[in-house]
Structure 1
Amino acid sequence: MSPLPSAEVLRYTAFSADPAGGNPAGVVLDASGLDDAAMLAVAAELGYSESAFLTAPDGRGGYTVRYFSPKAEVPFCGHATIATAIALAERDGPGDLLFTTAAGPVPVTVTLEGDELRATLTSVEPHIDDIAAGDLAEALAALGWPAADLDPAVPPRIAYAGARHLVLAAASRERLADLSYDFARLEALMHRLELTTVQLVWRESPAVFHVRDPFPVGGVVEDPATGAAAAAFGAYARELGLAPDDAVLTLHQGEDMGRPGTLTVALHPGDARIRVSGTGTRIG
């Protein structure tokens, strides 16, 4: 039984048109009657990596959106943003939206492509930070990754585009596929560094990457498709010269979990913000 039977909780997946793929999110289109404890309870009962709660529609496509993992509120969540935009488009039709989040305003556009809805979010202003050698060593120890397993051409950094993510690049697809980490140890480091996920990447080609996102601070081992990390990674790739200013990157995520999804990351000359797009569909 839901702890809040009066709240309509929708279930959508983002970054896949298949309900069995992508990243599931809870979506509450009218959370005006819910307090913080109630929103956290809904998110915890669903057990998805995040759920989105909308309040204060302004009649012009604008909403206040809050995001909760099963353990805590997070400032921004990309896949729940995509899922929410798809849900609104199914109700109201495609178009432009503006989500006011704790990280800042996030415009979203939903278009109909054939028989599929596709949502594109525009991130807040991103930035990239170095990681201290000791913190990097602790992250690798928690993951059980020898330093030699990192790709030296894709150096570790902390990237932000609404939430902070530590980017670590594997030298091989086999290294990325073998994920078994110390949950409590990595969670403690992430809390200390104020990280939302650790984004593990492997570069297949200049524009194609495979990614995985451990998310112990949210109470789940791994996030199946992470839009906020994808936006941060786009900023990271441009900052480090891995991608030109007009690049369109494809990120494959969830394959190793049996929930494959595809995230499209677009850079634009003269605009530091990152566009992340994907499909989505209702579950059940």
Structure 2
Amino acid sequence: MDVQRISAFSHDGTGGNPAGVVIGESLPDPATMQRVAAEVGYSETAFVAIAPGATVAEVRYYSPDAEVDFCGHATIATAVALAEARGPASFEFRTKAGSVHVEAAVEGGSATATLTSVTPKVTPAPVSLLDALLPLLGWSPEDLDPVLAPALSYAGAWHLVLGTVSLSTLESLAYDFAGVRSLMLEHGLTTLQLVHRTAPTEFRSRNPFPVGGVVEDPATGAAAAALGAYLRHYGLVRPPADVTIVQGVEMGAPSLIRVAVPAGDAGIRVTGAAHRLG
């Protein structure tokens, strides 16, 4: 099986989050997709079924441990792989979370892609979830940013958005992997979107992903879309707004994610550059 390896949301040709991409005219069976994703070992591998010349694709995403409904960085990587093979184009990715519109282009050796999420949803985080989670993160209530209300946000997958008032708290993150994984599975969460607001429309982020068997993602497009939806829902940006997220710094894989937040309840647009590995 031909597995392409592409790092999405890279910055100046480095960093980003690697994804596996497998493109064919039909999807492998679920057991095969799970096995291949575990062998590749990236936080996600995308499996794509698309006919020659078509612009509509069936896409499934697998982490090393389980299938996930939607993955942003693997979507960006897949769109770039298709654009490299077919030229600049727009695609409809039919995912388990719904249809996602994607645009990709490759110019002068530089590849970028933009996805538009499904319709987002935001709801306050249960107090019981926070009471259980904070000790597992090594955080206290005083570490939380009072301006950023803890919330569950969805733009293809559910994420807990949790803001800290101190960048050093984010930088020194060390968490109970098994405990956080169990709690996230109980609440149906894909990642934790842990953020520190460095400017009105700029954030540093870290994304624990223990439910996928991964300690941390260096760039998370689905969580970035969820953050954009969260900021709009709580009136923390004035749409249309452009938001920048820097992630992966502590992992030595600095990543740059650009988020466009439209007015109303429209899907969030997430843009990133990508480069091939190996």
- What is the alpha-carbon distance in structure 2 between the residues aligned to residue 110 and residue 271 of structure 1? 24
Q: Does 1:132 align with 2:126?
A: yes
Cα distance, 1:87 vs structure 2: 0.7
Partner of 2:172: 178
- What is the alpha-carbon distance in structure 2 between the residues aligned to residue 258 and residue 97 of structure 1? 32
- What is the alpha-carbon distance in structure 1 between the residues aligned to residue 224 and residue 60 of structure 2? 19
Structure 1 residues 183-232: Cα deviation after superposition (integer angstroms, max 9, x where no partner)? 01100110010000001000000011000000000001001100000001
Partner of 1:116: 110
Q: How is 1:119-268 mapped onto 2 (pairs within 5 angstroms)?
A: 119-268=113-262
Q: Does 1:105 align with 2:99?
A: yes
Question: Which 4+ residue blocks in structure 1 deviate beyond 6 angstroms?
Answer: none
Q: Does 1:274 align with 2:268?
A: yes
- What is the alpha-carbon distance in structure 2 between the residues aligned to residue 9 and residue 279 of structure 1? 19
- What is the alpha-carbon distance in structure 2 between the residues aligned to residue 282 and residue 108 of structure 1? 19
Cα distance, 1:95 vs structure 2: 1.3
Partner of 1:84: 78
Cα distance, 1:20 vs structure 2: 4.4
- What is the alpha-carbon distance in structure 2 between the residues aligned to residue 216 and residue 146 of structure 1? 21
- What is the alpha-carbon distance in structure 2 between the residues aligned to residue 31 and residue 177 of structure 1? 43
Q: Relative to structure 2, which stretch is displaced further, 74-83 or 170-179?
A: 170-179
- Determine if contact 2:27/2:48 at 8 Å carries over to the other structure: no
Query: RMSD over aligned Cα, in angstroms?
Result: 1.4
Residue aligned with 1:128, SS: strand
Cα distance, 1:155 vs structure 2: 1.0
Query: Equivalent of 1:45, from 26, 32, 39?
Result: 39
Structure 1 residues 6-48: Cα deviation after superposition (integer angstroms, max 9, x where no partner)? x101100000156641000000011726211111111101111
Query: Equivalent of 2:54, from 54, 60, 64?
Result: 60
Q: Relative to structure 2, which stretch is displaced further, 110-119 or 127-136?
A: 110-119
- Determine if contact 1:19/1:283 at 8 Å carries over to the other structure: no
- What is the alpha-carbon distance in structure 1 between the residues aligned to residue 11 and residue 40 of structure 2? 20
Q: Does 1:24 align with 2:22?
A: no
Query: Equivalent of 2:64, from 62, 65, 70?
Result: 70
Q: Relative to structure 2, which stretch is displaced further, 28-37 or 225-234?
A: 28-37
- What is the alpha-carbon distance in structure 1 between the residues aligned to residue 11 and residue 48 of structure 2? 23
Partner of 1:4: none
- Determine if contact 1:18/1:281 at 8 Å carries over to the other structure: no
Cα distance, 1:57 vs structure 2: 2.9
Across the two proteins, how many residue pairs are aligned to each other? Answer: 278
- What is the alpha-carbon distance in structure 1 between the residues aligned to residue 173 and residue 25 of structure 2? 36
Q: Which runs of 5+ in 1 are unaligned?
A: 1-6
Q: Relative to structure 2, which stretch is displaced further, 111-120 or 37-46?
A: 111-120
Partner of 1:3: none
Residue 265 to residue 198, structure 1, CA distance change in 2 (3 Å): same
- What is the alpha-carbon distance in structure 1 between the residues aligned to residue 25 and residue 31 of structure 2? 12
TM-score (norm 2): 0.97
- What is the alpha-carbon distance in structure 1 between the residues aligned to residue 158 and residue 122 of structure 2? 9
Residue 240 to residue 270, structure 1, CA distance change in 2 (3 Å): closer
Amino acid at match of 1:248: D
Structure 1 residues 127-181: Cα deviation after superposition (integer angstroms, max 9, x where no partner)? 0011211111111111111110110001100000000000110111100001110
Cα distance, 1:118 vs structure 2: 1.1
Cα distance, 1:60 vs structure 2: 3.2
Residue aligned with 1:125, SS: coil
- What is the alpha-carbon distance in structure 2 between the residues aligned to residue 208 and residue 33 of structure 1? 38
- Determine if contact 2:27/2:47 at 8 Å carries over to the other structure: no
- What is the alpha-carbon distance in structure 2 between the residues aligned to residue 258 and residue 71 of structure 1? 24
TM-score (norm 1): 0.95
Q: Which runs of 5+ in 2 are unaligned?
A: none
